[in-house]
Structure 1
Amino acid sequence: MKDSLIIFDTTLRDGEQSPGASMTRDEKVRIAKALERMGVNVIEAGFAIASQGDFESVQAVARAVKDSTVCSLARALDKDIDRAGEALKEAASGRIHTFIATSPIHMERKLRMTPDQVVEQAVQAVKRARHYTDDVEFSAEDAGRSDIAFLNRIFEAVIKAGARTINIPDTVGYNVPHQFGELVRKAIEGTPNADQAVFSVHCHNDLGLAVANSLAAVMSGARQVECTINGLGERAGNAALEEIVMAVRTRQDVFPCQVEHIDTTQIVPTSRLVASITGFAVQPNKAIVGANAFAHESGIHQDGVLKHRETYEIMRAEDVGWSANRMVLGKHSGRNAFKSRLSELGIEFESDEALNAAFARFKDLADKKHEIFDEDLQALVTETAIESDVNERIKLVYLHVCCETGETPEACVTLAVDGEEQKLCAQGGGPVDATFKAIESVIDSGTTLQLYSVNNITSGTDAQGEVTVRLEKGGRIVNGQGADTDIVIASAKAYLNALNKIMAPSERAHPQVPTV
């Protein structure tokens, strides 16, 4: 029997560190449940010490998930570990993931600690974490630029202290596959008690090599890979879960391990869910989950696939969740059909009120477009969840836009701000620009627009447009989403969603900060 490769998903923690990718507690629970359905072994739910919101998110995921291990990140500090342990108290299976930097540049410049002090602090952190759980993971931050002899030393020490998973991160995406594979091999072979722990890797994509480095590490003995849905993550992102899983599954002739516990048909639905919640759209040519991943335009390719699929496809589209068969809902569909289809998509409602709110939106949408597809339903449920999650101090009451050839577009908006209606008009370079300026005439938020993105949810001229707006204020970045068959209205919804988030209090620590 081959070893089973442990899939450790950090979409909710490292993925959320992408600027603008912040998720609410309920959004994190929705994604965690999708990961649980997929069969992910470990779900890193957050960084409990970062804020009260992060603590509550880890706690909520720990309560909701039963079949996967729920993990919280913690620096090698007593207060971090205690907070993580408290957040995971109700988890069916909990893990504390503690880390400290081990590269010369990090120890000297960031931590200002000697190697002996780093080892001592790492050991103390692992021992403290063991008070809360037997499942403790230790990460050597920036291991990719660390001295191998020092890594062997600290790994031996933390394993003796009780760490059962040893993570080797390429924190800055500096390594190349053969080099990283060799580092992992030496780390395992040079650590005397390596047989008492599972060795793991966490690779960043700064050079576009996160997946390649992770797979090289697997070939060298790593049996856990830390990854994210759609490769989401800070800077250029992390290793993409879908690429890791499908590479190992497809090339069983090469890899010495397997991922049979992963339900790969859940990959595409989970990818769409994460894209919808974070506002980070998936590029069409993205492996596995991109819209073009199984599309063939070349006549030669089409002919080959029609004669024998494997001439140009190494995987079946159905195996990762793509399907040409969809139940098309419309305005004559009832509540039961609506609820049943959402259940098939893995979407459940906590209350009848939530179901009623989503069904009302469905009926409104069905009056605007003839056919409602799965993608429409995902966007509809996400928008309903957005409104329930965010304290809506600002609500759109009315929007009128005038746009004609040879005239400057003008928008008039009526907003309810803390329950009081205000109306103002503004002109702009286009209908969306005019709408945003009219909103700002009322709110005067002081924010900077960093991103405006529009994606069609389905095909056709009556398709919904899904708009993402990214705003920045005082170093804080938030995403807002909105969907509608009218792009201008969708844009206004997205802008207001972002404004409501930016006006909500948020104090959040970043995990990559000095530990002393």
Structure 2
Amino acid sequence: MEERRAYMGKHIQIFDTTLRDGEQTPGVSLNLQEKYEIAKQLAKLNVDIIEAGFPIASRGDFEAVKNIAKNVSGPVIAGLARANKQDIEIAWEAVKYAERPRIHTFIATSDIHMKYKLKMTRDQVIEAAVNAVKLAKRFTPDVEFSAEDASRSDPEFLYRIFEEAIKAGATVINVPDTVGYAVPWEFGRLIHKIRENVPSIYKAIISVHCHDDLGLAVANSLAAVENGAQQIEVAVNGLGERAGNAALEEIVMALNTRSDFFMNPTRIETTQIYRTSRLVSALTGIQVPPNKAIVGANAFAHESGIHQHGVLEEKSTYEIMKPETIGVSTNKLVMGKHSGRHAFKEKLKEMGYNLSDEEINKVFQKFKDLADKKKEISEKDIEALVEEEVIITPETFKLEYLQATSGSGVVASAVVKLNKMGVTIEEAACGDGPVDATYRAIERACGGDFKLVDYTIKAVTGGKDALGEVIVRVEKNNKIQIGRGVSTDIIEASAKAYLSAINKIIYDDNPYKERIDAVQ
């Protein structure tokens, strides 16, 4: 117990990898603008480190990391690199503009990875790790070294490679449970043993990066904190390879809510958690399940009569956290068509949005249009409008007019009128249904060969006048982009989503110089 108290109470650093590992979620592809928007929100959330990407992976990744390093202040900006010269040099070229740059280099250390993937001996792996850390150290004093698949590695070999990496200059030692194989007591013990058996460990921060293949990523991470880990690598909404990573919101609120046990504070601005979750969900197209801990729609909902009675008498009977803590307002202010711009602006501030006057004007106009169709507008309606109107890709094509017809025994047809840089384009088409006909008309108007890969629709709010949200994935030239549209008319929402994806495809094909200037 005395030993545990020695490292409890220390600040836990939150290393966010949403833009790197999170983007590796199957079906997710973020462009430069979207990564920049998420990075700015992560800075508002006050994460300690943003892993902005894997610069060597692609030109797009390099430019995104570079743009974030140049334009996002506050957190450390890290770039991932394999343990080789080219990766590390490219990573540095991307992150060197940051106020506080970090190079994060890694190599696998488990016998199965060394034998079948790396085809290297243990001595060769140690040599590569040491050389990588020394090279990274030439560029920046902040170097993180990760032993990939550490939880399945020989502990004695881990002690040895961590000691050599620290001697070479590593300031952070990361212990990944790469395939989510560990269980909490086992992983906690591994961290404990590393602290005991790596002589130079006091010179470095111990980090962990846990995957959720067995649903234990958060539990393993907390077990690591209990045993002396000082940095946790997470992703918003638990995004990531396969079953994902430890969820940022769950880690932070576990440490916050159970501070009596962990006594390890974070610097996270918890009131930005819900806003961050919504933004990431909107831009990745990965919806948050209603029963998701902390940020799910049902996280603070009570249906059982017994629960309702208890909460009405005393909230703490069934709520261990206050919704306001994560930025979910309990204010019941009703917004409608008689609400003025000032009240609307104050409501946006209350909800955590800090928009420019131009952005407020855009959203307010959409709000008034929606208010003519709905008696009451909820916060979820407003959130949807902000995410649709403010967080956008520059529009090459803009929907001006849409008419779709369908019925039993009638061939569905649609007429669309698009605006392209001031030029009006009108097309018509038939299809298997109103959405299919609308998409065929849009394709004709845009003059492109687009393939609809996935289409999902859900109600943003309840009632017959609910906003419908459509999320699509559209492919062209083997590249997939996500589009999102919101409207009380699902055909219009579908058209907006399709055009959103098409505009992203066009935007993504622009020269990177133009794209960066546009963001800056």
State TM-score, norm by structure 1.
0.89
**2:434 aligned partner:** 431
Output the amino acid matched with 2:382: L
Residue 494 (str. 1) matches residue 494 (str. 2): no
Shift of 1:321: 1.8
Shift of 1:3: 1.0
Cα distance in structure 1, aligned partners of 2:113 and 2:478: 24
Cα 1:313–1:378 change in 2 (3 A) is closer
Cα distance in structure 2, aligned partners of 1:184 and 1:470: 41
Cα distance in structure 2, aligned partners of 1:326 and 1:33: 29
Output the amino acid matched with 2:402: L
1:279-337, Cα deviation, whole Å (9 max, x unpaired): 11111111111111111111111222223322222222222222221555444555555
Cα 1:356–1:48 change in 2 (3 A) is farther
**2:425 aligned partner:** 421
Cα 1:87–1:359 change in 2 (3 A) is farther
Equivalent of 1:30 in 26, 32, 37: 37
Shift of 1:165: 0.8
Cα 1:326–1:57 change in 2 (3 A) is farther
Residue 154 (str. 1) matches residue 161 (str. 2): yes
1:447-501, Cα deviation, whole Å (9 max, x unpaired): 5544322232233333322211123456533211111121111111112222333
**2:18 aligned partner:** 11
**1:512 aligned partner:** none
**1:79 aligned partner:** 86
Equivalent of 1:143 in 136, 145, 150: 150
Alignment of 1:359-508 (within 5 A): 359-385=364-390, 387=392, 389-390=393-394, 392-415=395-418, 421=425, 423-428=427-432, 430-440=433-443, 448-472=451-475, 476-502=479-505, 504-505=508-509
Q: Which moved more, 1:488-497 or 1:57-66?
A: 57-66
Cα 1:53–1:373 change in 2 (3 A) is farther
Cα 1:343–1:497 change in 2 (3 A) is same
Shift of 1:232: 1.3
Shift of 1:395: 4.2
Q: Is the 8 A contact 1:170 1:204 kept in 2?
A: yes
Q: Is the 8 A contact 1:326 1:374 kept in 2?
A: no
Alignment of 1:93-242 (within 5 A): 93-242=100-249
Cα distance in structure 2, aligned partners of 1:507 and 1:46: 20
Output the amino acid matched with 2:320: I
Cα 1:344–1:98 change in 2 (3 A) is farther
Cα 1:507–1:189 change in 2 (3 A) is farther
Output the amino acid matched with 2:269: D
1:84-125, Cα deviation, whole Å (9 max, x unpaired): 222222322222111111122222222222222221121111
Cα 1:55–1:8 change in 2 (3 A) is same
Cα 1:53–1:347 change in 2 (3 A) is farther
Cα distance in structure 2, aligned partners of 1:435 and 1:282: 28
Cα distance in structure 1, aligned partners of 2:287 and 2:363: 23
Q: Which moved more, 1:406-415 or 1:68-77?
A: 406-415
Shift of 1:440: 4.7
**1:281 aligned partner:** 287
Residue 2 (str. 1) matches residue 9 (str. 2): yes
Shift of 1:44: 1.3
Cα 1:407–1:228 change in 2 (3 A) is same
Shift of 1:160: 0.6
Q: Is the 8 A contact 2:413 2:428 kept in 1?
A: no
**2:3 aligned partner:** none
Q: Is the 8 A contact 1:273 1:378 kept in 2?
A: no
Cα 1:422–1:308 change in 2 (3 A) is closer
What's the secondary structure of 2:425's corresponding residue? Answer: strand
Output the amino acid matched with 2:329: S
**1:320 aligned partner:** 326
Q: Is the 8 A contact 1:330 1:366 kept in 2?
A: yes
Cα 1:349–1:321 change in 2 (3 A) is closer
Cα distance in structure 2, aligned partners of 1:81 and 1:207: 32
Output the amino acid matched with 1:233: G
Q: Is the 8 A contact 1:19 1:478 kept in 2?
A: no
Q: Is the 8 A contact 2:9 2:265 kept in 1?
A: no
Cα 1:186–1:282 change in 2 (3 A) is same
Cα distance in structure 1, aligned partners of 2:487 and 2:137: 50
Alignment of 1:259-298 (within 5 A): 259-298=265-304
Cα 1:58–1:333 change in 2 (3 A) is farther
Q: Is the 8 A contact 1:51 1:507 kept in 2?
A: no
Q: Is the 8 A contact 1:15 1:237 kept in 2?
A: yes
Q: Is the 8 A contact 1:482 1:490 kept in 2?
A: yes
**2:518 aligned partner:** none
Cα distance in structure 1, aligned partners of 2:365 and 2:90: 41
**2:515 aligned partner:** none
Q: Is the 8 A contact 2:415 2:426 kept in 1?
A: no
Cα distance in structure 2, aligned partners of 1:479 and 1:58: 20
Cα distance in structure 1, aligned partners of 2:97 and 2:483: 32
Cα 1:81–1:175 change in 2 (3 A) is same
Q: Is the 8 A contact 2:195 2:201 kept in 1?
A: yes
What's the secondary structure of 2:259's corresponding residue? Answer: coil
**1:514 aligned partner:** none
Shift of 1:359: 4.4
Question: Identity over aligned residues, as a percent?
Answer: 56
Cα 1:377–1:132 change in 2 (3 A) is farther
Cα 1:460–1:73 change in 2 (3 A) is same
What's the secondary structure of 1:4's corresponding residue? Answer: coil
Unaligned runs of 5+ in 1: 509-516
State TM-score, norm by structure 2.
0.88
What's the secondary structure of 1:79's corresponding residue? Answer: helix
Output the amino acid matched with 1:216: A
Cα distance in structure 1, aligned partners of 2:97 and 2:352: 24
Shift of 1:343: 4.3
1:135-160, Cα deviation, whole Å (9 max, x unpaired): 11111111122111111111111101
